[in-house]
Every structure is written in C-alpha cells, then in structure tokens.
Structure 1
Amino acid sequence: MKWFVALVVVLNLVVAMYGTLKQRPPLDVHAQEVSPGQVKLLPPSWKPDASAAQASAPVAAVIKAASAPEAKPMASAAKAQAKPAAKAEASKPAPAKPAEKAAEPAKGKAVACYSWGGLSDSLLARVKGGVPQLKLKSGQLEEDSKEESKGSGRFWVYYPPLATQAETKTLSAELKDKGFTNYIVSNDEFKGNLSLGLFSKEDAAKTLVARLKAAGYDKAMVKSKEQTSKQTTLTFKDLDAAQAEQLKALQKKLTPGIALKGC
C-alpha cells in the first residue's frame, strides 16, 4: 500500500498547485519547495497495476490542462470579437454601383422641321429642282397649296346694267356719243356691266366717275381689281443634321427673300 500512499500525496500536491495556478500567474512548478518528509521514494521495481493506471489518467489530464498555456481562452475571446465584427461588416449596405450612362442619341436621328413658303408657281418649280439633293425619305416632305387674292394696283370704272339688255345697249350707244368709250362685259362675274376703263391710279378712275356724274350718269362706280395667285408651302419634317444644313444652304441660294420657318 506504500505506492498508494505515495500516489495520494502526489495527487494532493497536484491539486494544491492547480489551485495556486488558478489564483496567481503561472509559476515554475519545479521552483516550489517540498518537505522531504512528504516525499516517498518508490523502489525501482515498482509498477502500478491496471486500476492505479486508470485512476491516474484523470490526474494526468488535469495536470496537462493546468500546464497548458491559456491559448483556448484567448482563441475564444478572439472568436467572440470576430463575430460582432463580421455581423457589422455584413450589415453595411453594399456600395452603390455607378449609374449607367444614358444612352447616347443615335447618329442621324431626326432633329429638325422647317417650312418653306409661300412659293409662287415659278419659285416652286425652282425649289423642287434642288430638293432631290436632300435625299429625303417617304413622309419627310409635305406640300400645301392655296389660292390667294391680292390687289393688282389697277382700278376699274364700270356702269351697272339696266333692267333689260336692250336698254343697256342703248345706254352704251349714248355714252359713246358723248365721248365715253365703253363696252358690255360678257365673260366674267360682271357680265352685262358697261366697262368704261381700267386705270393704274385711283385718282384717274375717280376723275372719270366725276365726269360721268356731271353728264347725268350718276351710277358709275370704281372697283379695285384683284389678282388671284396660288401660293405653295413645303414642309420638311424629321430632318437629320446633315439634311437640315443642306436645306438651309438651298434656301439661301434659291429664295434669299423667303426664309425657312421652324415648325
């Protein structure tokens, strides 16, 4: 039983050392003094039996755990600190991607619309001769024509027809006898009226009317003659930059006095 007593002593020493190591910084175990009376030397031929070996296994595990450096607590602390950092990193919003650049307008895209008018028949023929160089597509050119009336700068003196054609003929003969040249209109809206003259100045026309009234023919009248002409406007739509520049150059060349207008 001597070996069992020695084993108990060793266990007591290990437990005492473990308690000391838990309370104070680790010290060199070999530097601790042990009373000689507490140490029991075992004979060289001593061997522990199986039950003693099993009993000493937990003690060895305790000694190993006590002598091991504090790596596991430090590793656990580092791991605990890493988890919140990882969570904070994961909670950060992802960096915003740079906004994609807006699509650039396609080359040759329609950029302009112009109208060119009013063009007389002669000017229209001239302009249409230059239009093919613009290389227009279907639907890019529209044509709009209308009739316009404007004064011609001439003044017409006339006398309204009488109740019957025979009376009008008699009146015409009387006027001719008194020196007023005339004829009966037969081919327009004033059919049956007596035409007494066409003047370039309004004063001259009014002078003739005054002479007729003095002679007893007080129904003579003056009318400003109007001319009807056709005016055409060309509309150029959906022009690209090159076509717009060519159109401007064409307008300056063919009709300097008729400018292009935006539409």
Structure 2
Amino acid sequence: MLETPIHSGPYWVYLPPLKSKAEADNKTEELKNSGIKDISVIRDGKWENAISMGLYGKEAIANDRVAKLKKLGINAQIEARGKTARTFALHHLSDDELKQIKQMQTDFGGPAIKKTTCE
C-alpha cells in the first residue's frame, strides 16, 4: 500500500511566537538589518509575536524560502494554511505504476509518498 498525504496551501513561512512584543520587534529589526525582506510581526491571536516571512501558493516555493533562510541561520517553519491534510491509499501498484507516480511527484513538486504495510 502506498499512502500519499495531501497538504493544501497556501503555505505560511514563519518564526514561532516570541515571548514578548519587544522580542518580536527586536528580532524583526535584526532580520531586516541582515537583508531579509517581506516580514511582519503578528500582533494578536494564537500567533501573537510570531514573525511572518511570507505566504506561498506552492509548497516547493515555501520549502525553497525556508532552505535559503536556513543557510542564513534562521530556523523558519512552514504551515499549510489551507484545508486539512488528506491521505490517499493506493493498493497493489505495479512497479511501472509506482514509477509513474514518483515521476509525477518530481514533475509537479507533489506531496511526500511513503510505502506502508496494509492493516
């Protein structure tokens, strides 16, 4: 059996909430001084004092942004902000079908694919 979780975008790149407004403002200033653009502090709700670093329609683009930030020593995270993740189970795939699915994943930047045992 092959399970394919589907996560729906947009994909939010962010730093988790900091302890205070002052910490969030200081971190934002530090990031701006290091050349990071398009960032803002969330000011209310459960994400208060988180630092938003972009909202992306495609997961691959969000992953690229996180990788670039990581090279700068910034440990940003990604959260799918769309619908709840879904999983599709594909049973009894031939080697050729599995190869085709993996090729589609490569071509379209698709979701992770993992092989599991059937229950």
| CA–CA separation in structure 1 for the residues paired with 2:63 and 2:39 | 16
Taking only the aligned residue pairs, the percentage that are identical comes to 34
Sort the Cα spacing of 1:190 and 1:165 in 2 relative to 1 into closer, same or farther, 3 A.
same
Q: Aligned partners of 1:213, 1:190: CA distance in 2, in Å? A: 21
CA distance in 1 between partners of 2:48 and 2:20 (Å): 13
* Higher-helix-fraction structure: 1
For residue 66 of structure 2, what is the aligned residue in structure 1? Answer: 209
- Output the CA distance in 1 between the equivalents of 2:18 and 2:45: 17
**Which ranges of structure 2 fall in alignment gaps of 5 or more residues?**
1-6, 85-119
Mapping for residues 158-197 of structure 1, pairs under 5 Å: 158-177=14-33, 178-197=35-54
> 1:166: Cα distance to partner?
1.3
Number of equivalenced pairs: 77
Matched AA of 2:13? V
SS at match of 1:186: coil
Q: Secondary structure at the match of 1:226?
A: coil
- Amino acid in structure 2 at the alignment position of 1:192: N
Contact 1:175 1:181 in 2 (8 A): no
Distance in 1, Cα, partners of 2:29 & 2:38: 9
Q: Which has the larger radius of gyration?
A: 1
Cα distance in structure 2, aligned partners of 1:226 and 1:200 = 10
| Structure 1 consecutive aligned stretches of length 4 or more whose deviation exceeds 3 Å | none
Structure 1 residues 55-134: aligned runs within 5 Å: none
Q: Gaps spanning 5+ residues in structure 1: where? A: 1-150, 229-263
| Alpha-carbon displacement from aligned partner over 1:186-217 (angstroms, at most 9, x marks no partner) | 23321210010000100110111111111111
Cα distance in 2 between the residues matched to 1:161 and 1:187: 10
SS at match of 2:17: coil
* Partner of residue 82, structure 2: 226
Kindly indicate whether structure 1 or structure 2 has the higher relative contact order, using CA contacts under 8 Å at least 6 residues apart.
2
User: 2:67 aligns to what SS in structure 1?
Assistant: helix
Q: Deviations over 1:63-92 (max 9, x none)?
A: xxxxxxxxxxxxxxxxxxxxxxxxxxxxxx
